[in-house]
Amino acid sequence: MLAPQRTHAGVEETRARILAATREIFERNGTRGTTTREVAERAGVNEATLFRHFGSKAALIGAMREDSCGIEAIRTLLGSFDGADISSDIKTLGQAAVRVMAGQRELMCIALAEDAIERGPADFEAPEWRGPRQVIGLLTDYFAERVREGRMAGDPPFLARIFMGMLFQLVVARKLWGNDPIDNGTIDAIVDVFLNGVQR
């Protein structure tokens, strides 16, 4: 008798359970304290299944961090913009990006702390940085189009990094600045400051 074929939906559901379990354990224990055995148990699979999906612990943690970046939501949102109202586009994007970052603040803080204690230069080509790089790439493309139209000024990759950096500080470093509220009014004010420097 042949083994039943796994459906695509079943494979994706198993992958999602493994990623959710990885995030839960990572946020509690960090990279070194996250074991593939504990992740597999939490996800309700065996370690062989985990390795069949991800190959290694490093790839698993990288995939979990990438999955948390909300790349598809940002891609869909940017694809819905026609560029007619830059201020409205960027405010909508800012609000969406802050929601994603606020939902993964603990994960980001742990990842940053671990990166800070690693010896040697940061490896921004590592899998765990793939998600943030993709978000910056999508935003760079949007800004590049506005620069080509003559409606914004500056180097698009730099603009993307500055914009996301401003939002990042609101979510991750907000206690340094007096716990600014994470609300649409604050996000809109940040966007206004950004656009004041780059919009023509």
Q: Report the alpha-carbon distance of residue 132 to residue 190 in Å, rounded.
A: 20
Amino acid at 50: L
Identify the pLDDT of residue 129.
Answer: 65
Identify the pLDDT of residue 1.
Answer: 46
Residue identified by tokens 């593939």 is 36
Identify the pLDDT of residue 152.
Answer: 92
Identify the pLDDT of residue 199.
Answer: 73
Identify the pLDDT of residue 2.
Answer: 46
Delineate the domains of the chain, giving CATH numbers in brackets.
8-65 (1.10.10.60), 68-198 (1.10.357.10)
Q: What are the helix (H) ranges across the chain?
A: 8-33, 36-43, 47-54, 57-67, 71-80, 86-103, 105-117, 130-148, 156-172, 184-198
Question: Taking Cα atoms as reference points, which of 26, 6, 9, 118 lies closest to residue 66?
Answer: 26
Q: Report the alpha-carbon distance of residue 65 to residue 101 in Å, rounded.
A: 12
Helix orientation angle between 47-54 and 8-33, rounded to the nearest 10 degrees: 100
Instruction: Per-residue pLDDT tens, the chain, 200 aa: give them.
Output: 444 556 767 788 999 999 889 888 887 888 788 899 999 999 999 999 999 999 888 888 888 877 777 788 888 998 999 888 999 999 999 999 888 888 777 777 777 776 666 655 555 555 556 677 888 999 999 999 999 999 999 999 999 999 999 998 888 877 676 766 788 888 999 999 999 888 77
Helix (H) or strand (E) holding 125: none
Identify the pLDDT of residue 102.
Answer: 82
